[in-house]
Amino acid sequence: PVGGDILFIETSRTPGSGKLILTGHLGDVMKESAQAALTLAKARSASLGIDPGIFEKSDIHMHIPAGAIPKDGPSAGVAMFTSLASLVLDRPVRHDVAMTGEISLRGLVLPVGGIKEKVLAALRAGITTVLVPARNRRDVDEIPADARAQLRFHFLETVDDALQHAIGMAPPVADAAAPLA
């Protein structure tokens, strides 16, 4: 319930009619996270430089392999969004990065439980960079010092932060001509 293992997220796109296909023995909350990730990717398509029509002309298949092991919870939201963005931007996610965090429809990365267990699982898997919600910063202190010393941590406020560290995408620059409120 609070982690302790890593999940891989595979995402592919085929010609279709805009369906989201989810496989991998996912619970309801994880399915909702995948839908939120797709909605957020669609909403941000212009700022990401993605043709919004790509989602209407394609079926997106997201698979979280691990046999029949049930998987649920919101913690994979940021990874699901990053996987979708990686797919449609054709930019691979770095192989040495793991991430956790729930996402909002506004692109915020929200805190999750089990940070210590998730980070230690990432370290066991050979991960060197971990992306954690900024609101979980204090939870990192619970991780043994020797483990923390082997990892680079980046704290996420938004999904843009995740894209920066996972696929090397610069955060969007605010429109200089836009009036300040």
- Write the pLDDT tens digit of every residue in 92-101: 999 999 999 9
Written as six digits, the tokens of 88 are 């449609």
pTM of the model: 0.91
| Per-residue model confidence (pLDDT) at position 25 | 87
Flag whether pLDDT at 70 surpasses 80: no
Is residue 60 a contact partner of residue 19, using CB atoms and an 8 Å limit? yes
Written as six digits, the tokens of 47 are 């700022």
Q: Which of 33, 58, 116, 118 is catalytic?
A: 118
Chain mean pLDDT for the chain: 91
What confidence category does residue 174 fall into, taking pLDDT thresholds of 50, 70 and 90?
low
pLDDT in tens, 18-36: 999 999 989 999 999 999 9
Q: How far apart are CA 76 and CA 82, in angstroms?
A: 10
Spell out where 8-128 has E strands: 10-15, 20-23, 58-63, 97-99, 102-103, 109-110
Q: Is 118 a catalytic residue?
A: yes
Q: Is 83 a catalytic residue?
A: no
φ/ψ of residue 176, rounded to 5: -65, -25
Is residue 34 a contact partner of residue 80, using CB atoms and an 8 Å limit? yes
Distance of CA 85 to the CA centre of its chain: 9
Q: Which of 75, 83, 86, 116 is catalytic?
A: 75
